[in-house]
Structure 1
Amino acid sequence: MSRTLIIVGLVIVAVGILWPWLSRIGLGRLPGDIVVQRENFTFYAPIATGILVSVVLSVIFWLINR
């Protein structure tokens, strides 16, 4: 269990470091991501990006445990 948590933590750190490059390929601006911009307020809800990341991670973990 602790090994899995360490791997998940490292993946989160890697995504955080690589985020500027990932945003260039369109991750974070998919259709289904909600952005509301006002004068002094911006609301961003990455619904489609969250679903995509969830599916990819589920497939990766399924392949690892297989």
Structure 2
Amino acid sequence: MIRLYLVIFLVLILISWAAPWLGRFGLGRLPGDLRWRWRGREWNLPVTSTILAGMVAAAIAKLL
């Protein structure tokens, strides 16, 4: 069980590290991704980007 938590933690760190680089390709700015400013902070909810990344990951997993 601890191995699963460790893998999830490392994947989240990798995604947060790669987020600015992936933004250059349009991820996080697709139609369906929600962005708003509230009380001086910018909030981002990347719904469409998450679905697209999940489909890519599933396709890669199916190939392996």
Q: TM-score per shorter chain, which class?
A: 0.5 to 0.7
In the TM superposition, residue 40 of structure 1 has moved relative to its aligned partner by 2.0
In the TM superposition, residue 10 of structure 1 has moved relative to its aligned partner by 6.4
The count of residues paired between Structure 1 and Structure 2 equals: 63
In the TM superposition, residue 44 of structure 1 has moved relative to its aligned partner by 1.2
* Structure of larger gyration radius: 1
2:55 corresponds in structure 1 to: 55
2:30 corresponds in structure 1 to: 30
RMSD: 2.7
Aligned residues with identical type, % of pairs: 33
Describe the shift of the 1:41–1:12 C-alpha distance in structure 2 as closer, same or farther (beyond 3 A).
closer
Distance 2:35 2:55 in 1: 22
In the TM superposition, residue 56 of structure 1 has moved relative to its aligned partner by 0.3
TM-score, normalised relative to structure 1: 0.65
* 1:6-45 superposed matches below 5 A: 13-45=13-45
Distance 1:6 1:28 in 2: 25
In the TM superposition, residue 25 of structure 1 has moved relative to its aligned partner by 1.5
Distance 2:9 2:41 in 1: 31
TM-score, normalised relative to structure 2: 0.67
